[in-house]
Amino acid sequence: MAEMELRDVRKSYGGTEVLRNIDLRIGDGEFVVLVGPSGCGKSTLLRMIAGLESITGGALLIDGAEMTDVPPRARDIAMVFQSYALYPHMSVARNMGFSMEIRRRPETERRGPVDAAARTLGLGSFLDRLPRALSGGQRQRVAMGRAIVRDPKAFLFDEPLSNLDAALRAEMRLEIARLHQRLGTTMVYVTHDQVEAMTLADRIVVLNGGDIQQVGTPIELYERPANRFVATFIGSPTMNVLEVAPSRDGLRLADGTPLPGPGTARHIGIRPEHIALAKPGEGIAATVEVIERLGSDSNVHCEIPGVGPILARIRGNPDIRPGASVGLVPEKDHLHYFDASGTALPGMAM
């Protein structure tokens, strides 16, 4: 188990800086998810922690020891790759026990941990097979088993579920959560899937364009996003963001609807689940465009004339049709306010 600290870490390729000012402390046994859009630098940051990518500036400490220039093999960290990266010419058992083989442990000694890991991952009957004889999900398990047998100070996961189908992904997500609970080892997990981030993380690090946007627990990020980027990135479906202008007693939308809030706000944010449908004439006037009925909820896509599209998520199965005029009533204490630079402002909700 390990504590990790990134101090003002930077990464650049030639003249291009891809990560800057990364200050992050990961607690012992913590599950931290790095999340962000493609190209935000999350995988690069993970590979820098692993030692597979050099650190241009700053320092990496593991358990207080400087690790910035230490080669991957000496960091005592295991990594699960997006591609699984199983050794194709070795059996499942040898794949899983390879780290012990490298450390010259005799085969009799290797068998125990390999068997134990195989049992927990349900791979017991596949130990003699080659990776090519396994399905995607089984290969993913072998990759995890290999990391477990390594018995490292910390686990790194680089989008480990992105090659699996939706059902298997949900199953493996649960498996990883169980693994973390059982082992209690520090884990750093990279994904672009915010459902994985929300469900697995103790804390989420949101990255964009090489900068950390916000670090916090999933609920903190959901309830108090630090800026417009985090607000629209976290949560599914994403938050509605509407332009507002200051008015005498607060704010108003482009169609003139008055809203409470600080005068410096230029945008307001409201999550689809915090909007209620009302009769026409109440709240913000809008026209229903499309309704997605999901059974438990319905996504009602509306258009506010002169303002733009807005999505409301309504419980159950409301009796409305596309083209209908409705009123939208946002829950006032769930409104988010952003200034011209996109930074969140304390509003009534804060």
Q: Per CB under 8 A, does 2 bind other proteins? A: no
Q: How many CB atoms lie within 10 A of CB 315?
A: 10
Nearer to other proteins, 154 or 231 (CB): 154
Which of 59, 61, 85, 254 binds other proteins (CB under 8 A)? It is 85
Closer residue to other proteins, CB minimum distance, 11 or 139: 139
283: Cβ–Cβ under 8 A, 6 or more apart, which residues?
A: 276, 327, 328, 329, 330
Q: Does 136 bind other proteins (CB under 8 A)?
A: yes
User: Closer to other proteins at the Cβ: 78 or 212?
Assistant: 78
- For residues 147 to 166, the per-residue mask of contacts with other proteins, x marking binding by CB under 8 A and - elsewhere, is ---x------------x---
Between 141 and 150, name the residue whose CB sits nearer to other proteins: 150
Single out the segment in contact with other proteins by CB under 8 A; choices: 78-86, 112-120, 322-330, 334-342: 78-86
Single out the residue of 71, 106, 281, 323 in contact with other proteins (rule: CB under 8 A).
71
Q: How many residues bind other proteins (CB under 8 A)?
A: 32
Nearer to other proteins, 121 or 314 (CB): 121
* Nearer to other proteins (CB atom), residue 81 or residue 299: 81
70 binds other proteins (CB under 8 A): no
Q: Is 15 in the site for other proteins (CB under 8 A)?
A: no
Residues in contact with other proteins by CB under 8 A are 50-52, 71-73, 77-79, 81-89, 98-99, 102-103, 130-134, 136, 139, 146, 150, 163
